[in-house]
Structure 1
Amino acid sequence: MISTRNSIVIMGLFLISALLFVQSIGWNSITFAQSDTSNNNTIVSNNNNGQPNIVTEDLFNTKTMTLGSNVKHLVILIPNEGHHDEGEDNEARFLDQHFVPENAVINTGTTVSWFNGDVGHERTINVLNSDGTLLFNTGEIQDSQMSTSHTFTNPGTYEYEAEGDPGVTMEGTITVVENNNSSIINSSPSNFDTVGVFMVPTQGIDSYLSEITNAGITVESTHDFEDLRGGQKGTGDVQTLIIWSTSGKDLTETISSLSEISLDLPYS
């Protein structure tokens, strides 16, 4: 049986060995997770360029996308048939969002554009200040084209809108926060600087994903969903949302590639 004195000696030797090991690798190489007791989120320290995991299923379910300070440009999707109102006969929309994401949380200095995937319709978006005055107007956005862009420099919540069918106003929000990744949940370093959303029929997904990646665009994640329209001719009844990203790539070139794909989609 080990005596109490021997146990103390063994424990002491163990602690000394542990301290020597930590000193040999350096204190700064150890990253500690801090507990944020105010909201039970885990914040990773020593991470100055964080980005939440981008999960398209979460975007679909919450209608919200939160971006880290590494993202310099967000391209919001105007989905096909997004101009219809909720509850129309046979649910004319594909999904329950006028914009994807319908709610974006970005850092100051982030530039936002809108990609018009609403086939056969032009859209004009007004971005409003908190007092309801006009901050920015996109001008007319052609089908399968990207709007002019706006860089948000001041924190706050900005509502934006576009006219859809008669009596239908398409709405979304952009919340701008200071460059402070301590407010970002489960952040991890990422290399991309541009993020956007795209939608395609699931029945041709392999071909579409190949076209996107061949254009030098990264597919971050996808989510298949049963659309509200219930299976239109040529598109099937399941669609796929895609979150894409690029790094150091000319956005004009990226949008040109996505426009070519969009124009060939069997949406109507």
Structure 2
Amino acid sequence: MIISLAWAFNDSFSQTPDSNLASNIFNNQKLIVPKNVKNFLILIPNEAHEPPGLSKELRVINQPYVPQNVVANTGTTLVWFDTDIPHNHQVSVVDKSSNIVFDSGIIKFNTASKPLKLNEGSGTYIFYETTKNPKYPNFVLNGTITVTNQQQSPSDTNSTSANADTLVAYMVPAKELDKRAVEFKNKGFGIDSTYSFKSLRGGGSEAGGDTQEYLLVLASSGKDLNDVISALHKVTSTMPYT
């Protein structure tokens, strides 16, 4: 039942692409990974373990994974990075026959999953996990991966992502943006795109005392995947929700 609901869930989103990747992630809950990108890191945002529809919203963003739906070429490597303090996560990927094709293992806060290389051929897969929140035992975090062999046109990417081999989805409170932009630049990242949105939970310590958040798409070229993860770990360790 969980799996069939997730397939139907994926079909409900807008399929209109946006040249601003961060905007597309927020508004369409989806990202088409540019063909030149070899590695993409999916963010597990803070408060991802909280379900939608509560009388007092506890989530920060409108999706349990950022992005919730990914379209990527065969050969792309996906990694999940956990910023949901202090919660562990464990992501399973299944095909349309409900066969598990990948298990991330335990992803601790401020660490990354094992890498998943998309070498199974074209098709759509679900990634999901059951919540560890005992208050909401039926809440399932889910998303989709569509593996394709897309032909990327130059107009689909900007100059930053067009030259990148790794992209990262990340979130920072608005008041932290300038500081973190400098940090990321010093660690070898460019900022492909940004999108400002109001935190669903309206500020407090979990949002660094800020009601505005920025969704970032970071771009890197020529860095080893482990070095990218290490850089994210260092930045995350000093974020205000820690």
- Separation (CA, whole Å) in 2 of partners of 1:88 and 1:188: 38
For 1:171, the equivalent position in structure 2 comes to 142
For 2:36, the equivalent position in structure 1 comes to 70
The 3-state SS of whatever aligns with 1:252 is helix
The 3-state SS of whatever aligns with 1:143 is coil
> TM-score, length-normalised on structure 2?
0.84
Which letter maps to 1:174?
I
Q: CA deviation at 1:187?
A: 5.3
Contact 1:80 1:119 in 2 (8 A): yes
Q: How many residues align?
A: 217
For 2:231, the equivalent position in structure 1 comes to 257
For 1:48, the equivalent position in structure 2 comes to none
Contact 1:235 1:267 in 2 (8 A): no
Which letter maps to 2:216?
I
Selected match of 2:125 from 154, 158, 166:
158
Contact 1:123 1:163 in 2 (8 A): no
Contact 2:34 2:156 in 1 (8 A): no
For 1:243, the equivalent position in structure 2 comes to 217
For 1:9, the equivalent position in structure 2 comes to none
For 1:98, the equivalent position in structure 2 comes to 64
Q: CA deviation at 1:188?
A: 6.6
Q: Which has the higher strand share?
A: 1
Given the superposition, is the C-alpha separation of residues 220 and 69 from structure 1 closer, same or farther in structure 2, using an over 3 Å criterion? same
Q: CA deviation at 1:130?
A: 1.4
The 3-state SS of whatever aligns with 1:212 is helix
For 2:165, the equivalent position in structure 1 comes to 193
- Separation (CA, whole Å) in 2 of partners of 1:131 and 1:85: 26
Which letter maps to 1:108?
T
In structure 2, stretches of 5+ residues that fail to align are 1-15
- Please report the RMSD computed on the Cα atoms of aligned residues, expressed in angstroms: 1.9
The 3-state SS of whatever aligns with 1:96 is coil
Contact 1:217 1:245 in 2 (8 A): yes
Q: What are the superposed Cα offsets for residues 175-194 of structure 1, whole Å, 9 maximum, x if unpaired?
A: 00024337x97457711111
Contact 2:128 2:143 in 1 (8 A): yes
- Separation (CA, whole Å) in 1 of partners of 2:78 and 2:52: 26
The 3-state SS of whatever aligns with 1:224 is strand
Contact 1:108 1:179 in 2 (8 A): no
For 2:199, the equivalent position in structure 1 comes to 227
> TM-score, length-normalised on structure 1?
0.76
The 3-state SS of whatever aligns with 1:140 is coil
Q: CA deviation at 1:211?
A: 0.6
The 3-state SS of whatever aligns with 1:83 is coil
- Separation (CA, whole Å) in 1 of partners of 2:69 and 2:212: 23
In structure 1, stretches of 5+ residues that fail to align are 1-40, 42-51
The 3-state SS of whatever aligns with 1:223 is strand
Q: CA deviation at 1:203?
A: 1.1
The 3-state SS of whatever aligns with 2:25 is helix
Which letter maps to 1:262?
T
| 1:58 maps to 2:24 | yes
For 2:241, the equivalent position in structure 1 comes to 267
Which letter maps to 2:199?
D
For 1:141, the equivalent position in structure 2 comes to 107
Given the superposition, is the C-alpha separation of residues 155 and 87 from structure 1 closer, same or farther in structure 2, using an over 3 Å criterion? same
Q: What are the superposed Cα offsets for residues 126-145 of structure 1, whole Å, 9 maximum, x if unpaired?
A: 00011111000000001011
| 1:202 maps to 2:174 | yes
For 2:9, the equivalent position in structure 1 comes to none
The 3-state SS of whatever aligns with 2:215 is strand
